[in-house]
Amino acid sequence: MTRHGGDPPRPVLTSQQEAYLGDLLKQVYPRVLRAVARMSRDHHLAEEITQDVAVAMFKEVLAGRAFRRPPIVFAVTVARNRVRSEFRRRRRAAELPTDDFPEGAEPWPPRPRDPDPTTAAARYLDLLAEVEAAIGDERRFRIWELHVVWDLKGFEIAEALGMSAPTVSRELRRAVEKARRIS
Report the CATH architecture of 15-95+117-179.
Answer: Up-down Bundle (1.20)
Stretch 26-52: mean pLDDT, rounded?
89
pTM for this entry: 0.69
Helix residue ranges, H only, the chain: 15-40, 43-62, 71-95, 117-135, 138-144, 154-161, 165-179
pLDDT in tens, 105-150: 454 444 455 456 567 677 778 888 899 999 998 999 999 999 988 8
pLDDT in tens, 60-86: 988 888 787 788 989 998 999 998 888
Domain boundaries, the chain: 15-95+117-179
Give 9 or 175, the one with higher predicted confidence.
175
Stretch 141-161: mean pLDDT, rounded?
90
